[in-house]
Each structure stands twice: as C-alpha cells, then as structure tokens.
Amino acid sequence: MGVRSRERSASERPPSGPEILVGVHPVREALRARRRTLKRLVLRAQARAPRPELLDLVGLAQERDVPIQEWAPDRFDHHVPPGSPHQGVLLEVGALPSLDLADLARPAADRPWLLAMDGIEDPQNLGAILRVGDAAGVQGALLPERRAAPLTPAVARASAGALEHVPIASVTNLARALEILKREHGYWIHAADPAGEHDLYAMPDRLLEGPLVLVLGAEGRGVRPGVRAAVDITVRIPMGGRVDSLNVASAAAVVLFEWSRRARVRAAGRG
C-alpha cells in the first residue's frame, strides 16, 4: 500500500477561509515565499510618511501584483485580531498548502532533516520551533492532525515569518508516518529526551549521517509512548546548571545546530 493511500493529500483536505497576517515580518515572508494566495496588502493610514520597512512591503506587493489599499485607523483596527502587534500592516491571504508525506520525505541534497511535533499545542512554541528549523535548514516538518497547534497567524508571528518557508505535512497518525519515513525513505528517527541514551555531543558521527527526523514532545510530557516506539535514537543535551531541561524550542535549537556543526565538519573533511 503506497504512502498516498495512508495519508490524505493536500488536494483532499477542505479549503480554509482567508486569514489575516499582521506585522512586518510575517507579511514580508508571506510575500517573499508566495506559497499562499496573496489577496491584498493593507496599510494603516498615518499622519506621517510611511516607515521604510512598509515601503519595502509595498514594493514586494507591487512585484507580485498584490492589490494595495490604505485604510483609516478605525477600519484597520477593526480587522486586526485583538492584541496583535500589527505595526500598521496586514496581509489577507489564503491557507498555507499542506504537503503529502511522500513529497516532504524526498531527501534534500545537503540537509535531509525533518522535524516531527508530538503534542506541541502552544502556538508560541510551535512558531519558535519553526523559526529555529528554518534557520538550521530543515527541509520540512510533520504535524499530527490532532494534539498540535493549528497553523494560525499567531504561529506565523511567533515564527517571525518562518512558517511561510518551512513545508509542512499534516498526518493522521504520527507514529505511522515515522515508520513510513524509516521503511520507505531511509530516515533515522531521533527524539530529544532529558534522559536520552546518547549524549548529543559525544554520539558518533555515523548516527548523524543521512536523512534524519528530530521528534519533539510537549513540555512536561515529552514524546508519547506510541510515538516513542518508532524512535531509533534518544538524545540528551548535557546540562551544566541547576535546571535540568530546556524549553522545547531551545532544545530544538541546540540539537539542530549541533547537527549543522557536524555536517559542516564532515563536508570540510571531504573537501
């Protein structure tokens, strides 16, 4: 049975209504990435001249033939989600596309790394992890359809726009998706765990070569037993202080950038 029969493809998922992104970083990255339908850019009318970063957004929108409007403050503020730091700009967009697992699984040439989120339900954590993943060069992320924060504008803000650049596959069963990645695509599955078997900095290079998935569990609960059964390697980050663990986004950063450091060392050795 093929992968496409196990996980729903993007074309089978019901379309979502328009979303509103606010703030310079999420709007700029959505315009740059062009992975969504870009409906209109709206600026909040100002008594003074627009800031340079807003003019840059206008230039990007013009390049992409996105309609541009200026609204009076009352109308603009009515459309902004309460409490959102809008910086005088909003972008009306369609939903992000969700890839099929098979499309996401094809290993990239240099860093065939994926993130898998198990129970990350806080939008701030999810956004921060995606920002870290984009910075480290991951080729995508897996999110379960349940027990995961939805990909809302709040996640876009927390990711500083990285959400627009990290391809994401939504899967019905994360443990099964990890087994597919291992069996059919040659991935090794790592999980961050404070009590992990391997010290991150002492583990042999052979365990960090080839396509890798980093599984991240919810803070306080960790990776669920059903998902853990699909994990090949658990890794711990050595701690030198009195606090015995990092928050999940910080842990993701430490692990991914150690992977990146090792990859650079291997590449330099081959050169």
Domains with residue ranges and CATH for the chain: 19-93 (3.30.1330.30), 101-270 (3.40.1280.10)
pLDDT for the residue 221: 85
Mean pLDDT for the stretch of residues 217-223 = 87
Is residue 159 within 8 Å of 186, Cβ to Cβ? no
Residues found in the chain = 271
Asked if the model's pLDDT at residue 12 lies above 50, the reply is: no
- In contact, 205 and 266? CB cutoff 8 Å: yes
Quick one: average pLDDT of 4-31?
Answer: 66
72, two tokens: 């009076």
pLDDT of residue 243: 75
Q: What is the pLDDT of residue 101?
A: 93
**For the packed helices 123-136 and 248-270, what is the interaxial angle rounded to 10 degrees?**
10
For the chain, counts of helices (H) and of strands (E): 9, 11
Q: Quickly state the pLDDT bin for 37 (edges 50, 70, 90).
A: very high
> How far, in whole angstroms, is CA 227 from its chain's centroid?
19
* DSSP tag of 198: E
Q: What is the pLDDT of residue 271?
A: 57
Confidence band (pLDDT; 50, 70, 90) for 7?
Answer: very low
Q: In the Cβ-directed half-sphere of 137, how many Cα atoms lie within 13 Å? A: 15
Greatest Cα pair distance, the chain, in angstroms, is 62
Q: What is the pLDDT of residue 4?
A: 34
Band (pLDDT 50/70/90 cuts) for residue 11 is very low
At residue 262, does pLDDT exceed 90? Answer: yes
In terms of phi and psi (left: phi > 0; alpha: psi -120 to 50; beta: otherwise), the region of 65 is left
pTM comes to 0.86
